[in-house]
Amino acid sequence: MIKKIDGYVIKTFFGPFIFIFSVLFFIFVVNIIWIRLAQFTGKGLSYWEILKLLSYLSAIVVQLVLPLTILLSAIMTFGDFGERYELAAMKAAGISLTRIMLPLFFVTFIFSLFLFFFSNNVIPDFQRKAKNMLYNIAATKPALNFTPGQFIQQIPGYSVKFDKILGENGENIEGVFIHKMANSYENQQSIIAEKGKFVPADNRNYLKLVLFNGHIFEDNIENVEYTQRIKQPDQAIKFDTMVSHFNISEIINKALEAEKITDDYSFQNFIELNKTIRKAKVQNSTILNNINSELVNQTNGFVSYIDKSKTKIALTPVPKLDTLKKQKKQEFLYAAYNKIESVKQLNTAKAEQIQDLHAYYSRIIIYQQRIFAYSVTCLIFFLIGSSLGSIIRKGGLGLPVVIAIVVFIIFYVINLSVENMAWSGKMDPYLAAWLPNLILFPFGAWLTYKALTDSQLFDVEKYKALFKPLINRFSKNKEHARYR
């Protein structure tokens, strides 16, 4: 009988679990599509490439969807048991609530192990593949957004204009004008061609352009005196075919930075991240020591030398301001003021650098710890969900959904808050990664205790009876109209 009940409980749980996971995953993926829609349009990507990129980007969504699905499914399952009086029947048969929850606890434990494996092995690999695909998209010519008949300066160091852009992927061009941007003391160059074609380059950091039937106009005036420049004749070179390479690595790097997927630590598993953390810690220590030495030297150029020297150095005594003349006194004060201002500016600049170092170090630690922390969140959400479901005794998509969303929003807000605090240096990153679980676990344990003791936690009549004496004290009895 017990085994049949276990099978029935698990079967009842998996029904809403599959449905809720599908819906939530679809909602999160639609959000990704909405945010990244501009990437997919006008890039010449096939439907298969778009689906593959979406699958890589949406892998990290599982970290949030799975705990929320467990929370909502547990509430709905035990809420249905309570609403149909099945929970009461099981307790009447001598089966405790703990025994009823046990099979689903093991199922949730398996899900938590799956989430750890998925976060530790699959997500880093998918993040790496997503970056490679985004790199390929950013390295293609359409990413430059050429417009026919208009000058653009997106290619570093050049101003270009194409009269016509033809071809399925815009690879053929006509009416080419390319001008190398330079000041009046550098060599000047302009290229005009009847037509051209974009060709894939061996190095993706370069844009390869083959031009046909054109001229190169050059003025080699760099390091040449003005009188010689006037005498120097203009140079024009005619060509039938010319191949040009333009360095677009800066454009590609900016595009990758905009995707927020440039952090290599997101491509590593839990063990590999330990090496990255140690490496970042050593680098931060070295940089902080250099900053400290620079600030000390800026404050007093003799301090570091005096501290390291064994012999005492006789320094020139500093004169007292009261003994100086007015002009000399003002010079001393003005020099001291400038020194203080320069130190303040240097301190402000270094504070931003230190903040960036700490934020990057904290991101690595939080990312590593959440690989394991989110797995524990699944177990905590199950305790909360199963306890709430057995207490409220309401199934379906009404009240359980509202309660689950409220709990998840609280968890998500705590997550973001402690994350920002860790990045700003106000909280230890290890504590920040685990604090949401540390806050919700006592709440889950308390709800479990209330569920085991058949607490009427959500009974409205109980609270009405509790406040009834207070309400009666401040309210007047209304007489019937016939007795007035």
Q: Give the model's pLDDT for residue 145.
A: 61
Percent of the chain with pLDDT over 70: 72
Instruction: Tell me how far apart the alpha carbons of residues 56 and 126 are, in angstroms, rounded to a whole number.
Output: 5
Whole-number pLDDT of residue 305: 45
Q: What is the pLDDT of residue 196?
A: 87
Residues of the chain with confidence (pLDDT) below 70: 1-2, 35-45, 135-145, 168-170, 183-185, 204, 220-234, 251-263, 295-329, 331-332, 395-400, 455-468, 470-484
pTM to 2 decimals? 0.65
pLDDT computed for residue 114 by the predictor: 94
Looking at residue 435, its pLDDT comes to: 92
Q: Quote the pLDDT of residue 113.
A: 94
Dist. CA 19–CA 41, nearest whole Å? 31
pLDDT at 325 (0 to 100): 64
Distance CA 168, CA 185 (A): 41
Query: In sequence order, what are the residues at sequence separation of 6 or more whose Cβ sits closer than 8 angstroms to the Cβ of residue 481?
Result: none
| Domain ranges across the chain | 2-139+368-467, 145-247, 284-360
Enumerate the β-bridge partners of residue 161: 177
pLDDT number for residue 251: 67
Tokens for 300?
């007093």
Q: What is the pLDDT of residue 108?
A: 93
Q: What is the pLDDT of residue 374?
A: 92
* CA 101 to centroid of chain Cα atoms: 36
Longest Cα–Cα distance in the chain = 120
Q: What value does the mean pLDDT of the chain take?
A: 77
* Cα–Cα distance measured from residue 224 to residue 231, given in angstroms and rounded to the nearest whole number: 11
Can you give the pLDDT at residue 465?
Answer: 62
Residue 373's pLDDT is 92
